[in-house]
A and B are shown apart, each in its own frame.
Chain A
Amino acid sequence: SAVISQKPSRDICQRGTSLTIQCQVDSQVTMMFWYRQQPGQSLTLIATANQGSEATYESGFVIDKFPISRPNLTFSTLTVSNMSPEDSSIYLCSHDRVGAEAFFGQGTRLTVV
């Protein structure tokens, strides 16, 4: 599987600010996904990031709050905008280079104060 690097690994941010999380894959992948994992919870898909087109967002997530870029087949960013304490979560990116099998980065642990 392609190796995924995600940064930052963690951050503490002030409410009202924005944070951009980067996800780099060491080989080309068709689809990249962004998930949110709230404390003690499971993974919830935020959106699917496709190169050359706008991201596809899941119900409950909107582009204004979570803008996503996918400039090429190895890189994507997720921005968490106008943050509030409720946005404190782990944010994970993944790719699906092998069939249905999703491979994850190490995640970004975000705390909003």
Chain B
Amino acid sequence: GQQLNQSPQSMFIQEGEDVSMNCTSSSIFNTWLWYKQDPGEGPVLLIALYKAGELTSNGRLTAQFGITRKDSFLNISASIPSDVGIYFCAGQQGGSEKLVFGKGTKLTVNP
């Protein structure tokens, strides 16, 4: 099936640093979503993107829908310890209600 390539797999950063992660695909997606999952919890939606080129912010988080519709990135500015978790990208293709998920980026923030 369709796959999303998410990178990096893991990141170790110092508190206050900015973070960037991305997802790419060989196919076009109509929707890109970014989720965060804390241990023992389900994924929580952070940002939803619906238009190519769209840049959307949610507090310290910013995500963009790539102009080619085959990629998306998520930036976290001025990281804090509670940003720790696994971040997943997810995409939806035209004509399908199903979401395809990336493999996740595990973020560790050192105080």
* Residues in A lying within 8 Å of B, measured CB to CB: 1, 4, 6, 31, 33, 41-45, 48, 58-59, 92, 94, 96, 99-107, 109
Contacts and interface: CB of A to CB of B under 8 A. Distances in A.
Interface of B: 1, 30-31, 33, 35, 40-45, 48, 50, 88, 90, 92, 97-99, 101-104
B43 A43 contact: yes
Given A105-B42, A107-B42, A100 B101 contact: no
A69 B88 CA distance: 28
B48 A99 contact: yes
Contacts, number: 57
A2 B40 CA distance: 20
B24 to A, nearest CB: 15
Contact of B45 (A31, A44, A103, A106): A103
Contact of A104 (B1, B30, B42, B104): B42
30 contacts: A4-B42, A6-B42, A42-B102, A42-B103, A42-B104, A43-B43, A43-B88, A43-B101, A45-B98, A45-B99, A48-B97, A48-B98, A92-B43, A96-B97, A99-B31, A99-B48, A100-B31, A100-B33, A100-B50, A100-B99, A101-B33, A101-B45, A101-B48, A102-B45, A102-B90, A102-B99, A104-B42, A106-B40, A107-B42, A109-B40
